[in-house]
Structure 1
């Protein structure tokens, strides 16, 4: 619960806002155990009977992300039973909150009970370069100023601290994580409408020059989950 007090100091504000996140570094290290790795531009963990998904037109989709959730130092509550997440996208297809799974994107979620096997499948016309993702430590993350879920009471408290010159500005007082990450807050690049009721932010895929993602627009993708129904929705920067 947000403290209704405009005289909060920055330490109290950070304590109320902080959410744990794990941010990933793209490449720059030698891959280790294939069974527990996360990747950008590469998916090789599947159920025995699974293949690369096809989009609604019957075209083979592109492997974009593999997250080995179970091996990370922090896991959101809604993913406590999740072991692996994989994401595939279509070529030049819209991906936003109006796009159902299978049209422009596919997310597969596995538990520890799922028997996964390694399939070294390569797309005949690859779009992305493949890199292992190095997870960092579990660290505090904070919302961007334009986050529609930013509590108004804390905004008032921060503005009071700025007026008193106790802090220069919000962004100098907190540490935000902008790259690929699991947990924490969405790193909205502009004013955003937020997420549908019941859907909670789980992870984001950020622009990645090394991997060549995205193809055109330099926007984040925000993946959200409804913990009650298990449904996933993806939101784009322009949603």
Structure 2
């Protein structure tokens, strides 16, 4: 397998996000970190199992993005809330984190709801297309046959390392591959990686120690699961 065949086999598109750096429009099409403003008329900020309000983490307006994950094809707006303390890895949704998905025909209203003492800073997001995102080498999703082909190229002197071939987007993103800090631990094959929110000093988010919050969705049930690791 040659270099171009390896790239074609692995490459996935993504949308990456940069927080701030421009004046927000406050239009419904704008995506945010640290803020959620769109709700169903009867919705408010969700609470965790201890009865405490979760923090508004993210709001994505998906039709406005240069790339939207196929698992979200019927979703117009996605919002994320999490408890102040991170949930356990692969903890079921509802106790300490909630993702809400809204279709195009649902009525949404803008609400100026905040959580007292939230450590997150709200910033609008600039979305950029990533034509080709690639998995990380160590447990990041490289199939075994591709690993063997890359090692053969290294032994032949065609490349010095896998990272001569590929790039990886570590930013906040929808699509592409998860940015594992340690050897990757993914849920079962029914789940596909959809999006991540990474540590970002601008929004005052540090996932334990420069890690990322990563979210997968079930192909069959539509259920979500969460994982995170750190350096």
Scaled by the length of structure 2, the TM-score of the pair is: 0.94
Report the 3-state secondary structure (helix = DSSP H, G, I; strand = E; otherwise coil) of the residue aligned with 1:42. coil
**Superposed CA offset, 1:20-53 (max 9, x none):** 1111111111223521111111111111110000
Q: CA RMSD in A?
A: 1.5
In structure 2, what is the equivalent of residue 223 of structure 1?
215
In structure 2, what is the equivalent of residue 70 of structure 1?
63
Report the 3-state secondary structure (helix = DSSP H, G, I; strand = E; otherwise coil) of the residue aligned with 1:94. coil
In structure 2, what is the equivalent of residue 119 of structure 1?
111
Looking at structure 1, the residues matched to 133 and 139 of structure 2 have their Cα atoms a distance apart, in angstroms, of 13
C-alpha spacing 1:19/1:30, structure 2 compared with 1 (3 Å): same
Report the 3-state secondary structure (helix = DSSP H, G, I; strand = E; otherwise coil) of the residue aligned with 2:222. coil
Correspondence 1:13 to 2:6: yes
Report the 3-state secondary structure (helix = DSSP H, G, I; strand = E; otherwise coil) of the residue aligned with 1:36. coil
- Mean CA deviation greater in 30-39 or 202-211: 30-39
In structure 2, what is the equivalent of residue 85 of structure 1?
78
Contact 1:26 1:133 in 2 (8 A): yes
List alignment gaps of at least 5 residues for structure 2: none
Looking at structure 2, the residues matched to 165 and 51 of structure 1 have their Cα atoms a distance apart, in angstroms, of 58
Looking at structure 2, the residues matched to 203 and 41 of structure 1 have their Cα atoms a distance apart, in angstroms, of 16
Shift of 1:215: 6.1
Report the 3-state secondary structure (helix = DSSP H, G, I; strand = E; otherwise coil) of the residue aligned with 1:35. coil
- Mean CA deviation greater in 146-155 or 121-130: 146-155
Looking at structure 2, the residues matched to 11 and 140 of structure 1 have their Cα atoms a distance apart, in angstroms, of 13
Shift of 1:196: 2.1
In structure 2, what is the equivalent of residue 5 of structure 1?
none
In structure 2, what is the equivalent of residue 4 of structure 1?
none
Runs of 4+ in 1 over 4 A off after TM superposition: none
Match runs of 1:8-47 below 5 Å: 8-32=1-25, 34-47=27-40
In structure 1, what is the equivalent of residue 125 of structure 2?
133
Correspondence 1:177 to 2:169: yes
List alignment gaps of at least 5 residues for structure 1: 1-7
In structure 1, what is the equivalent of residue 155 of structure 2?
163
Contact 2:140 2:178 in 1 (8 A): no
Looking at structure 1, the residues matched to 170 and 140 of structure 2 have their Cα atoms a distance apart, in angstroms, of 17
Contact 2:199 2:207 in 1 (8 A): no
Contact 1:147 1:194 in 2 (8 A): no
Looking at structure 1, the residues matched to 129 and 189 of structure 2 have their Cα atoms a distance apart, in angstroms, of 30
Report the 3-state secondary structure (helix = DSSP H, G, I; strand = E; otherwise coil) of the residue aligned with 2:28. helix
Shift of 1:138: 4.0
